[in-house]
Structure 1
Amino acid sequence: IECSESILTSIDVFVVINILSNRSKWTFYFLSSVQFNFTIGHLKIIQVANTKLRADAYDKFITASDNRDESKVISFIDVDVKQIENQFINAVVMVIYCFEQALITLIYILYINSWVALVYLVCGFLPTVVPRLTKKWLEKGTKKWSAKYKKYNLEVSEGIKGFHLINNYGVTAKMQKLIAHSLRQEEDAYFKMNLHQETSRLLSNTTYVISTIIALLVSVLFIMNGQITVGAFISLYLAADRVTSPILSSVQFLNQINSSTPLLEAEIDKSKQQQINNLTYQNLSKDLLLEFDHASFGYDHALIKDINFAVKGNSHVMIEGPSGVGKSTIFKTLLNEIPLFSGEILVNSKLNDNELKHQTGIISQDTFIFSKSLRFNLTLGGDFFDKDLIAILRKVELDKFASTEGLDTRLGENGVHLSGGEKRKIELARALLRKKTILLLDEALSGLDYQSMQTIFQLIVDFNGTVIDIEHNLSDEYKQKYGQILELTN
């Protein structure tokens, strides 16, 4: 449909050009070809831009070391990209299209009478003043709607994910009111954003009507003075519409660009986030892997202060403390998810950053399971032989999956078909499969049944490498299996 409309527009322009050229047939073919290729280019630009925006959003999320917000990224990919396409990319392309159309027609009206053409040109550009005057107003409305939409989207997402918690505590009605209130705020902001655009469009249309009347009065004056004929005036008036109409259309597209600019700027700003690197590589004693040197951990204030502690290579270390003491902040700091509050974390320079990441297996208390097959959850898309996968499953005592058919089992969203112990065993299997030399565990033994806890603990004890295990509370029987213990207190 868009292609057909473009060719029809070419025919209109061709009628004008036909007066100037005897080669009407070839002119028509040329313009039709230009418009057709313009449409193809337009669609290609949308394809490339959408692909890049979505890919960049995910890539930046993966590589970000701080402020990861899953809901914002999902909202951007699902909603904002489509709005950027509709209101920004399409608008930019159509502004170019309108400029092309106006330029061709302008050549013709200048040929008829340059002075009258200049009057039409000046009057045609008057409506473009409106977007400049309303730009900040439009951007403000879009920013407000975007913030309200993301708030509503987050609350709905949390309301769905936390349904059982909400239901168990009998606060369903309150949650419904909260979400309904956010929905009303989002819809009010959306209404105001559209109202701003329509108001700007109305002002542009009003300016266009006034400009047209002025141009007509000037044309009548030129006819009365005998400077142009009535026939030339009619041709000029009809052709001039092909200058002013595209200009007016470009005003509307500029309004769309102004409205969607905050969404695009928000995505561009994400690339400016600085990466966190808490680890300093130095020449340490050859038997040391890393050392905390007056290290303090926390967010706005230090939860754990002035830690001096060395971890030897191939040793098993436990960091123990009560809830709320800040154990998980150490875990997140070592993973560069949050910045080190003060002090230093020194790493033996025999390892570089890439080697350390490659050799470290992460076992957290919140195991993430993909909805795909068990094979994918173990390999994460890597190349491994089935016999190696089956051997690892037997090692972590997941024998019921230790077959080719078992590897093809789909685990459901976030491992809905698995127990907590099975999830933890899969995460440990991922590390063992890749022959990691360092295990970093964050309460890997918490929340498990006795049998699963025994299995995982024995695998940790038997691990031939460095273990840094952050735990809440373990009995002395378990503690004696560790070579070093760092006890944290409130």
Structure 2
Amino acid sequence: MSADSASNWQTYKRLLAYVKPFWLAFSLAVVGNIIYAGASTGMAAAMEYVIQAIENPTEQNRLLLTGLIVGVFALRGVGTFMGQYFINYVGRQVVNALRTQVFDRLLRLPSRFFDDHSAGHLVSKLTFNVEQVADATTNAVTISLREGLTIIGLLGFMLYTNWKLTLIFVAVGPVIGFVVSFASKRFRKLSRRIQSSMGDITHVASESISGYRVVRIFGGEGYERERFHDVSQRNLTQSLKMASTQAISVPIIQILVAFSIAALVWLMLAPEIRGGMSTGELVAFITAATTMAKPIRQVTSVHAKIQRGVAAAHDVFETIDETPEDDTGTHSPGRVKGNISFRKVSFRYRDQLDDVLKDIDLDIPQGQSVALVGRSGSGKSTMVSLLPRFYEYTAGNILIDDVPIRDYTLRALRDQIALVTQNVVLFNDTIAANIAYGSLREHTLDEIREAAAKAHALEFIDRMPEGMDTLIGDNGVMLSGGQRQRLAIARALLKDAPILILDEATSALDTESERHIQQALDLVMKGRTTLVIAHRLSTIEKADRILVMDGGEIVEAGRHEELLGQGGVYAKLHQTNFSEAG
């Protein structure tokens, strides 16, 4: 068995494990398909009695024949319903299980995974790829079971009627098998390309839709149209290749089956082959052989769906098998004091030769506000990203209250930290739900309003048509930049965590709003260990300590006045900052 075949078989086995909990529904589907196959075989076998009834039209034969026709079609109807409904039930359950499992895993994957994969491709996995698995576990299985059992039933009847003729008919089987095998490999290869191109389509479309303002103001319509046309054309090309493979393999198989049937008819006229078969038996045999043409065609054409499903399942299982964030810590305190220590901490991103942070040694006592300043790329944001373990440091150690952060459970660690970033993330929900998000849902409306008031957000919330219950659109599109930032600050205030990270928290605010917010932040920073990153140096002049970073190292540290007096890097940054402001 080739590595590819072994891998496909492993994927099949893994998919079957998802079917196991629904074995009863699957068994009923099999029973339904057996009934259908039995009725289809019965229709061919009944042709002998049809001929007898025509040759001998007695009252009894008339009743028997009409009853037989109604009975066979009624059985086929029952079999079709049971086979289709119960296999669809199993298929949708499998898809639901896969989709929720993929989403659950995405929620637990480390930041680097999202750095390596675009949102569009990940959404495509959850939607398009999982649906391809659905096709393989519903329609494909239904057709394979129903038509496969029909073929077995018809072959059984033919062997019983005349085994010599049947063996001649079956002789074409290996040739059909070769055609199916060749087509399957091509289907699988094309399916992978189609899934990749669908991810590209989702990615390009989501970027163009979410960034429509930039697209229009910078005249990017033509570029985006061309980009989307390219990925869509690639998808079309692969889909047409799939369609052509499917379209050519089916008639080839039909022609092979037709040759088999033609050979049968020719041989039937030979007395030594026909033996003592009556006219009715001959007609029943030919009917069985011709009836088999449709199930053979359907079973072979369903291979495209199965191969699409297997290729999609490979991709889905790849995501499910991704290593989640390391969460082996056991320390889970109620509320920490907020003492933070960096001990010779270094960090480098994957595939980079140089460290982004180099031997950071730092102690921040509880309740102290520390501002990080420096040029872009100096390591400020990376340093604060290590604290909630969005990234894992490559050397040294970080401690909170003298306990290494890797000893904390991730939930306990992140419960101690509130975060406000420059890129505010809001959800397509009400204002209240965005402030009291996630584990903050238990807070009362009064507590939510109090947090909003401290963040100077009530002044615009109360002017909204439905106040706190106003829907704010995708990522808060109904709000201004300053309003979105204030909601993020209100969320951090409501969390009331002992450690606060402010990464450019006031960057989207005008001077008037910034003054109000700064007052609110001064209030919320009291009694909390606060790490502030800001380009506007005016916002950090009151910080207990300012750390100046350059090239991943702390090059200066002190209060605002001290650093100005030294005339070093901070003084130059301050001078540049104020000349730009002026």
Q: Normalised by the shorter chain, which TM-score bucket?
A: 0.7 to 0.9
Deviation at 1:395, TM superposition (A): 1.7
Task: Report SS of the residue matched to 1:185.
Answer: helix
Q: Aligned in 2, Cα 1:338/1:236: closer, same or farther, shift over 3 Å?
A: farther
Deviation at 1:489, TM superposition (A): 0.6
Instruction: Give the structure 1 partner of residue 346 of structure 2.
Output: 295
C-alpha contact 1:373 1:411 (8 A) present in aligned 2: yes
Quick one: distance in 2 between partners of 1:154 and 1:92? Answer: 31
Instruction: Give the structure 1 partner of residue 169 of structure 2.
Output: 120
Please, what TM-score do these two structures have when normalized by structure 1? 0.85
Please, what TM-score do these two structures have when normalized by structure 2? 0.73
1:394 aligns with 2:466: no
Letter in 2 for 1:394: A
1:470 aligns with 2:533: yes
Superposition map of 1:10-29 within 5 A: 12-16=40-44
Quick one: distance in 1 between partners of 2:73 and 2:240? Answer: 44
C-alpha contact 1:297 1:333 (8 A) present in aligned 2: no
Quick one: distance in 2 between partners of 1:379 and 1:223? Answer: 87
Quick one: distance in 1 between partners of 2:399 and 2:270? Answer: 85
Q: Aligned in 2, Cα 1:260/1:222: closer, same or farther, shift over 3 Å?
A: farther
1:249 aligns with 2:290: no
Pick which of 448-457 and 78-87 moved more: 78-87
1:457 aligns with 2:518: yes
Instruction: Give the structure 2 partner of residue 130 of structure 1.
Output: 179
Q: Aligned in 2, Cα 1:43/1:183: closer, same or farther, shift over 3 Å?
A: closer
- 1:405-441 per-residue CA deviation (whole Å, 9 max, x = no partner) reads 4111121222122222221221122232233222223
Task: Report SS of the residue matched to 2:537.
Answer: coil
Quick one: distance in 2 between partners of 1:380 and 1:119? Answer: 71
Quick one: distance in 2 between partners of 1:392 and 1:8? Answer: 65
- 1:227-269 per-residue CA deviation (whole Å, 9 max, x = no partner) reads 6444323211212344453233111111221134222211111
Deviation at 1:396, TM superposition (A): 1.4
Instruction: Give the structure 2 partner of residue 406 of structure 1.
Output: 467
Determine which of 113, 127, 131 is the counterpart of 1:67. 113
Of the two, which has the highest radius of gyration? Answer: 2
Deviation at 1:124, TM superposition (A): 4.9
1:328 aligns with 2:404: no
Superposition map of 1:40-119 within 5 A: 40-65=85-110, 66-68=112-114, 69-86=118-135, 89-119=138-168
Q: Aligned in 2, Cα 1:305/1:13: closer, same or farther, shift over 3 Å?
A: same
Instruction: Give the structure 1 partner of residue 423 of structure 2.
Output: 366
- 1:347-385 per-residue CA deviation (whole Å, 9 max, x = no partner) reads 515843321122222211111122221122122362332
C-alpha contact 1:138 1:196 (8 A) present in aligned 2: yes
C-alpha contact 1:278 1:334 (8 A) present in aligned 2: no
Determine which of 14, 31, 38 is the counterpart of 2:83. 38
Quick one: distance in 2 between partners of 1:320 and 1:424? Answer: 21
Of all paired residues, the percent bearing the same amino acid is 20
Quick one: distance in 1 between partners of 2:84 and 2:274? Answer: 44
Quick one: distance in 2 between partners of 1:20 and 1:45? Answer: 39
Deviation at 1:95, TM superposition (A): 0.6
Gaps of 5+ in 2: 1-31, 50-63, 552-582
Deviation at 1:139, TM superposition (A): 1.9
Deviation at 1:13, TM superposition (A): 3.8
Pick which of 78-87 and 149-158 moved more: 78-87
Letter in 1 for 2:429: K
Quick one: distance in 1 between partners of 2:513 and 2:350? Answer: 33
Letter in 1 for 2:547: L
Deviation at 1:12, TM superposition (A): 4.0
C-alpha contact 1:124 1:211 (8 A) present in aligned 2: no
Quick one: distance in 2 between partners of 1:36 and 1:281? Answer: 53
Q: Aligned in 2, Cα 1:480/1:446: closer, same or farther, shift over 3 Å?
A: same
Gaps of 5+ in 1: none
C-alpha contact 2:373 2:549 (8 A) present in aligned 1: yes
- 1:170-225 per-residue CA deviation (whole Å, 9 max, x = no partner) reads 44333433333333333223222322222333333333333334444554446556
- RMSD of the alignment, in Å? 3.6
